[in-house]
Amino acid sequence: MPIELPDLPYPRTALEPHITAATLDLHHGVHHRAYVDAARRLLEGSGLEELALEDIVRRARGRLFEQAAQAWNHAFHWTCLSPRGGGEPGGRLGDLLARRYGDFPRFRDEFAHAALGLAGSGWAWLVQHPDGSPGIVVTHGASTPLTGAGTPLLACDLWEHAYYLDRQDARDRYLEAFWNVVDWEAAGKRLR
Ligand SMILES: [Fe+2]
């Protein structure tokens, strides 16, 4: 099953001014494409060619794992953003976050604290643990909660390529922009 570069689920200018078209062109069109291309090359002869991308990520090791995981992480990340995003989650996700973190601003502060505490490149995630509770997870490099027991609900790319054109090295300002385009409806639909 070939690994594909998915189209962005919105026009390249749709997330402006929070995330610019220039950043999406670079991030999706160059970086994400490079992960897909490398994963496809490394997949040849691996014995995993017939698997879906999620299963390749769960089974692969080494370079193939890194490139395939980044291909999946990015495809997932794009679906976490929306020009109609922002605000606060409602419904069951809103209730779960309020129960775990007290209120939404406190969740956001904890997420930002975890994201800003990561040295180097990686991802910040909202996951649903097997017991149903929500949790914040930060992963290094290409590592992804897809290989663990929890269900990924939301991903924030913390590699500098996600924000340096728009925010230089100010990860805190990128996170503020991220909250304006988070697709809480999509995150809520991922709950088990
Ligand atoms: Fe990225």
pLDDT tens-place string over residues 56-93: 999 999 999 999 999 999 999 999 999 999 999 999 99
Of 164, 134, 185, 192, the C-alpha closest to 31 is 164
**Residue 27 known to bind ligand:** yes
Res 73: pLDDT = 98
**Residue 18 known to bind ligand:** no
The reply to whether CATH 1.20.272 applies to domain 21-78 is no
**Residue 140 known to bind ligand:** no
Q: How many CB atoms lie within 10 A of CB 184?
A: 22
**Cα(35) to centroid(ligand 1), Å:** 10
What spatial distance separates the first Cα and last Cα of the chain, rounded to whole Å?
A: 27
Q: Is the dihedral of CA 43, 44, 45, 50 positive or negative?
A: positive
**Residue 7 known to bind ligand:** no
Q: Which fold has domain 91-189?
A: minor pseudopilin epsh fold (3.55.40)
**Cα(114) to centroid(ligand 1), Å:** 18
Q: Where are the domains of the chain?
A: 21-78, 91-189
Work out the pLDDT band at 2, boundaries 50, 70, 90.
Answer: confident
Q: What is the DSSP letter of 147?
A: G
Q: Return the structure tokens found at 186.
A: 């999509």
